[in-house]
Amino acid sequence: MSPERFDLVLPHGITLACRRNGAGRPGALLLHGFPEAAFAWDEVLSLLAERVNAVAPNLRGYPGSSAPADVEAYRAKPLVADVAAAIEALGAPLPLLVAHDWGGALAWNLAAARPDLIRHLLIVNSPHPAAFLRELRASAEQQQASAYMNFLCRPDAERLLAERDFARLWPFFGAAAWLTPELQDRYRAAWGEGGAGLRGPLNYYRASPLRPATAPGDALHTLTLPDESVTVRVPTTVLWGDADLALRPGLLQGLERWVPTLRLLRVPSATHWIVHEQPARVAALIAELVAEG
């Protein structure tokens, strides 16, 4: 079953291009990461079709959604406002917010700031911001694993990534058996001619202070995230592929400090791309959490 496409027009002037597997009130909202788009959830949406109505939006800056030119438009506050407005438009409180990678960064922040909007949070390989800040400062392993983020902030990153048929982007997925020629074509279409579709997604990195420091004056050195601003008090499940090369296991240490009601599910055989590698596992977990209410 192919997901139905629709536009969600938000009150503050942003439009999100969405995909859904049913017309009823959604039980789950699925947020994608980089360098993907909402189509990354298609198999999960299909597997959920008989159990959970779900919606997967293209986030701000991604294909079909509003894409402001100003880098400041991709800071945490406006991005989280998009997700909050989407949930309110779809019907709050939402039973389950599901988020991977950059989508998870937005979801962590939303769950801390607006717990009234969701009943449960499911994070898939996306670091809690306070744990990420700690590891970027103290862990040489995580600093090395995240070094690519500074490349993505370059003003010419779109052009460089598009060279030689996106030769620098395909390695992000590793040796991925799931990355079929058909799916590669969908990624090419999303990334756009000459990388034009990458400008909005790369602005997430350019707008964020959470990346390895390269100079004494970098924002990472002075950034503060008070516990009260990042503590998530809704029940939270973290599904984590342990073979993630970009997000190292140290990010899971001490997570209970900011997530008092935490269920951690680690999958040793899975990578950062567990949504593609094990969609049935992801769909079953979503259905279970929605059923719990």
Tens-place pLDDT, residues 231-286: 999 999 999 999 999 999 999 999 999 999 999 999 999 999 999 999 999 999 99
pLDDT of residue 161: 98
Residue in 132, 121, 126, 161 with CA at minimum distance from that of residue 32: 126
Tens-place pLDDT, residues 113-160: 999 999 999 999 999 999 999 999 999 999 999 999 999 999 999 999
Q: Is the pLDDT of residue 211 over 80?
A: yes
Distance CA 156, CA 91 (A): 40
Distance CA 147, CA 24 (A): 43
Query: What six digits make up the tokens of 48?
Result: 């959920």
Q: Walk me through the domains of the chain, giving residue ranges and CATH numbers.
A: 4-292 (3.40.50.1820)
Q: Is the pLDDT of residue 79 over 90?
A: yes
Token pair 């990334």 is at which residue?
191
Tens-place pLDDT, residues 42-75: 999 999 999 999 999 999 999 999 999 999 999 9
Q: How much is the pTM? A: 0.98
How many Cβ atoms from other residues are within 10 Å of residue 164's Cβ? 7
Q: Is the pLDDT of residue 293 over 90?
A: no
How many Cβ atoms from other residues are within 10 Å of residue 244's Cβ? 21
Contact (CB, 8 A) for 78 and 52: no
Q: Within its chain, how far is the Cα of 105 from the centroid?
A: 6
Tens-place pLDDT, residues 85-121: 999 999 999 999 999 999 999 999 999 999 999 999 9
